[in-house]
């Protein structure tokens, strides 16, 4: 598994400023948490789509491809960090 944290530097009010994703080996999202400027937190997995947010319908690009767009700052994070964010979002 791969765990990503992506900061969206130019996000508007209706877009998340932070996106946390759990990816399988083919880079399909298994779980996702989105955090907005106003404090809203939405999440999704294969069974739940909180706030109408779902998992990506395509595999995510590589870290290098995401980083090539200056509006995004991607970072690989630990499973523990992802699990902490997931637990808070789904509590």
DSSP 9: T
- The Cα 79–Cα 81 span in angstroms is 5
pTM: 0.94
- The answer to whether 4 touches 63, Cβ cutoff 8 Å, is yes
pLDDT average, residue stretch 17-22: 97
The model's pLDDT over 27-39, given as tens digits with 9 standing for 90+, comes to 999 999 999 999 9
The domain locations on the chain are 2-90
Q: State the DSSP string of 38-89.
A: TS-EEEEESS-BGGG----SSPPPPHHHHHTSTTEEEEE--HHHHHHHHHHH
Give the Cβ contact number of residue 90 at 10 Å. Answer: 13
């Amino acid at each position: 598994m791969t765990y990503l944290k992506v900061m969206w530097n130019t996000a508007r009010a209706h877009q998340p400023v932070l996106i946390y994703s759990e990816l399988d080996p083919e880079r399909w999202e298994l779980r996702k948490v989105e955090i907005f400027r106003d404090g809203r937190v939405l999440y999704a997995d294969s069974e739940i789509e909180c706030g109408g947010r779902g998992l990506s319908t395509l595999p995510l690009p590589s870290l290098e491809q995401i980083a090539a767009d200056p509006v995004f700052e991607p970072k690989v994070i630990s499973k523990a960090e992802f699990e902490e964010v997931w637990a808070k979002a789904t509590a």
